[in-house]
Chain A
């Protein structure tokens, strides 16, 4: 069923000078799936997300997002097709308050003419009010109500991560790419946030690709897991299959259990 694929890459490769950051990545994620992306440091997980979202152009190969070829498209256009992402190191807009950060995430949905905005016409005010209601709803869901007027710079890291997640969701994307959404959160916060995310994703039929180091969370919540190592996919399957895959254990899971 070709049509049900949310994202499909074919032989995606990326070279930084002599370094082969990604090698022939062929990834297929069906619509509505929660896909985990794991691998040791330097495996190319973040690079893969950068390629998918258009932040970095791949050297060769193709990316098809929701049946549209996006390989050479600039990131803001890919975003308009319904892809959102978060960043490993949160990239919030520090001068703006929490609520504005969410509203910036909704930029592509708020349709307002430039003249309408400059002159403060009624149509712009209405669009702004409607967007505000949606933003307030997200603020409540992510437990950010009450701090919505603080500027993002004043917030602790865990809250920033939550805000980052809320902002990525605010655009109601079809596909959400999350780069370590729970780093810096406590185990409990992390589980809560990811479950909330999964629930929201299910309601909207959203597809998720999540880089996450916390294997317990991954085991419970991911539908399938892809394991990357040195820029290649070395294993793929259900969480149970992956934990028993010798290549995956050798590259990543073994390391993890040795650490613990």
Chain B
């Protein structure tokens, strides 16, 4: 992959800003930035599933919950090293993804939406029914641990972990989309028959998309538990899943930039609307409707519309 000078400049700016962030930003803003990055990870994964492979999921918050609870329980009760907790948690989340992906091979559209919704209810019930392990509706507090000799209560450590995880997710997503796997995802969405006749095992690719996408959600779940320090089932309800769908639809389906923009806007928006709290739902809804009506291909299509114009302007 050849980077242009502009891209190198952008990447290095982001890296420098990230290194400086914990020293410059006040605690609350750093916390928000963490949430933005976590949501980006989740949106990248969801967009691979929905935007590229064309399968809807209303249970991404469940994959997040599976990983968040697994991480917390392994950390609190078994005191495993946190890297091991995290890897196991992500593994369990993607196992959950495979579980949902298995019937998804034969389900499409509304039926898949309902199946994933059922999976979401199931995880919610399981969390609430085993309060001895999960804390039930009262939730769980994540106990402190150490990573590389530094306590997880250190804000800068948490931020760096989240930032590295986000960068890693971005790198993996770019790879997926430029290699045969990403092409196969796009192929099974646009024309399953043609994909099949070209030797692409459609069922297997669908399952793979779910498994990989759930791993992203799992990673987001682990980081969420670490950053917020407290988890309860309400956090991972259907509202959360719908919000993630909003991220990628408003940002732009099947686009990495779309996932990023959508996550940034919809994570920061509620904060920006604190002053007009009673109207915040209204503003949220208006933005959603406006973008669906005027930019059905997401905010990213705005950029795509502007760029060719620039090129034409230059040649003139």
Q: Which of B184, B191, B197, B254 contacts A53 (CB 8 A)?
A: B197
* Residue numbers in A under 8 Å from B195 (CB-CB): 104
A residues in contact with B131, CB < 8 Å = none
Query: Are A91 and B201 neighbours in the complex by a CB distance under 8 Å?
Result: no
A92 / chain B contacts, CB cutoff of 8 Å: 190-191, 194
B146 on interface, CB distance cutoff 8 Å:
no
Chain B residue with Cβ nearest A93: B190
A87/B193 in contact, CB under 8 A? yes
Asked if A84 and B179 sit within 8 Å, CB to CB, the answer is no
CA distance A104 to B193 in the complex (A): 13
Residues of chain B with a CB closer than 8 A to A107's CB: 180, 183-184, 187, 198-200
Judge whether A246 is part of the interface by a CB distance below 8 angstroms: no
A240 to B129, CA, bound (A): 78
- Number of interface residues, chain A, beta carbon within 8 A: 33
Say yes or no: A95 contacts B200, CB within 8 Å. Answer: no
Bound form: Cα–Cα A119–B169 in Å: 10
Contact with A along B202-217 (1 / 0, CB 8 A): 1000001000100000
Q: How far is the CA of A110 from the CA of B254 in the complex (A)?
A: 23
Distance between B141 CB and nearest chain A CB, rounded to angstroms: 33
Q: Does A161 have its Cβ within 8 Å of any Cβ on chain B?
A: no
- Measured between alpha carbons, how far is A92 from B198 in the docked complex, in Å? 11
Q: Give Cα A55 to B208, complex, Å.
A: 22
Interface pair B180/A110, CB less than 8 Å apart: yes
Q: Could you tell me the distance in whole angstroms from the C-beta of B212 to the nearest C-beta in chain A?
A: 8
Which of A74, A75, A80, A124 gathers most chain B CB within 10 Å? A75
Interface-forming stretch among B6-14, B170-178, B271-279? B170-178
**A76 and B199 form a contact (CB under 8 A):** yes
8 A–B contact pairs at CB < 8 A?
Answer: A75-B196, A76-B202, A87-B194, A105-B198, A118-B172, A118-B181, A118-B212, A119-B172
| 14 new A-B contacts at CB < 8 Å, known A79-B199, A93-B191, A114-B181 | A76-B202, A92-B191, A96-B186, A96-B187, A107-B183, A108-B199, A117-B175, A120-B174, A120-B175, A120-B179, A124-B175, A124-B179, A128-B178, A128-B180
